[in-house]
Amino acid sequence: MKVSEVMSKAVVIDEDITLRQAAKIMSKKNIANVVVIKDGKISGYISERDVLINLSNLDKPLKNYMSKEVITISADAKISEAGKIMVERKVKRLPVVKNGKLVGAISFRDVIKNLENEKGNGDNSEGDFFLN
């Protein structure tokens, strides 16, 4: 199964907003991270952790505190590849790109939920996976 078949919409923000504004967006959308865009291109990534370790800088532009190395995955990649990258790079969500453009995002939960379907047995039960 391809990443594009299970991805969701990516939440994006401009790099010139403040950490506080980014935190409010994440809270309102109930998400732990967002993709940062500048001039239509991915310029970074901000997570709850980035906000928490910079609480004294909430009113400063997030571009000074965002992660600039953004790990992405192709929309045509297999779900298992997304899971492998998440484990190796210790991330819970990956921006999905197609032809160099952001088209969505895939989370750890998306991978776990759909991994059985990729194996070809069609069983979408929890099986041996236990999530808290």
Domains in the chain with CATH codes: 3-119 (3.10.580.10)
* Burial label, 100 (beta-carbon count in 10 A; 0-12, 13-18, 19+): exposed
For the record, the structure tokens of 9 come out as: 């919409």
For the record, the structure tokens of 99 come out as: 């032809």
Buried b (16+ CB within 10 A) or exposed e, 29-54: eebebbbbbeeeebbbbbbeebbeeb
The beta strands (E) that lie in 9-63 are given as 12-14, 33-38, 41-47
Does pLDDT of 129 surpass 60? no
For the record, the structure tokens of 81 come out as: 């590849």
Does pLDDT of 89 surpass 80? yes
Mean of all residue pLDDT scores within the chain = 88
Neighbours of 58 (CB within 10 A): 15
Confidence of residue 22 (pLDDT cuts 50, 70, 90): very high
In the predicted model, what is the mean pLDDT of residues 117-131?
51
**pLDDT per residue over 26-69, tens digit each?**
999 998 889 999 988 899 999 999 999 999 999 999 999 999 99
In the predicted model, what is the mean pLDDT of residues 76-88?
95
In the predicted model, what is the mean pLDDT of residues 11-21?
94
